[in-house]
Amino acid sequence: MTALTIPRTLTDPGAGVATAVQERRILWPLLALMAATSFAGAAFALRWDPAPGILKKLEMTGQLKGMPEAELVEQITTAGRLKLVTAISSGIFVTPLVVLGIAVALAVVAWLLGRKAPFPALFSASAVGLLPIALQRVLWGAVALWQLGVTEERARNLLPSSVGAWIHAGGPKLAGLLGALDFFHLWAALLIGLGFAAATGMRRRSGLLVGLVLFLAYVGVFGVGVPGLAGGGAGHGPGPGGPGGGA
């Protein structure tokens, strides 16, 4: 797989994913995902204003009163730079670990189903399958750069690809669930399923079923479990807190 054949994986997944997995193509999909994640994170950092959060924190701790303006400006500037560095670093270093984690999960699924598959093939299925997430992050980053400013709350629905971006009903728990029902994540899960089928020799239909189960597991974890542990906050959104900060 070259950089020019990546679009084929998205437009003709039946043949594109199978070919990529069988030929153990990993580098270009992984680089695309890393670059897209870093871009989305950097776009968020460049449009994010840290001042309100810092002022609120200093006011709550009683440090704001009497603080020199120069020191306050320095804290705000440092927070913005730290956000930018962290976002880019996450795309470079965390993204490969996420791809690896999904590959390990696929290996466990293969073992449970009594199927054998070389781990490089499963790693390739993971990397290639996440290309829709790379596309989502590029689109999200482009939209973010057009904004005058982006807050963490607004970032979740800046690219309206989830059910939660269109339906605003119920409490925080329902909002988290609807936010996890995202088109790009479903697309990625189905591609991972196709890659899993190619790696294990299963039928494509069975692979798509595996991908659907993986998507439901994702929704259960990030749409129900994580928001519940966080006290009912919003779920895994499509901004840097979601696609921009990890797969």
pLDDT score, position 168: 79
- The pLDDT assigned to 240 comes to 44
- The candidate with the shortest Cα–Cα distance to 100, out of 87, 83, 119, is 119
**How much is the pLDDT for 24?**
87
Q: Look at residues 207, 212, 234 and name the one whose alpha carbon lies nearest to residue 223.
A: 234
Measure the CA angle with vertex 118, ends 242 and 221; round to 5°: 25
The pLDDT, as a whole number, for residue 223 is 82
126 backbone dihedrals φ, ψ, rounded to 5°: -65, -45
Within 10 angstroms of residue 178's Cβ, the number of other Cβ atoms is: 22
Give me the residue spans of the domains in the chain.
11-229
Amino acid at 236: H
What pLDDT score was predicted for residue 237? 43
Report how far residue 6's alpha carbon sits from residue 2's, in angstroms, rounded to the nearest whole number.
7
Return d(Cα 198, Cα 125) in angstroms, integer: 8
pLDDT, tens digit, 9 for 90 and up, residues 84-139: 999 999 999 999 999 999 999 999 999 999 999 999 999 999 999 999 999 999 99
Rounded CA separation 106/100 (Å): 10
d(CA 165, CA 157): 5
Distances, alpha carbon 137 to alpha carbons 103, 155, 240, in Å: 21, 12, 8
pLDDT beneath 70: ranges in the chain = 1-5, 227-247
DSSP reduced 3-state for 182: strand
pLDDT at site 231: 55
**How many Å apart are CA 141 and CA 239, to the nearest integer?**
8
| Per-residue pLDDT, 61 | 80
pLDDT at 242: 42
Alpha-carbon distance of 84 to 244, in angstroms, equals 12
Each residue of 128-138: pLDDT tens digit?
999 999 999 99
Question: Distance (Å, rounded) from C-alpha 116 to C-alpha 92?
Answer: 31
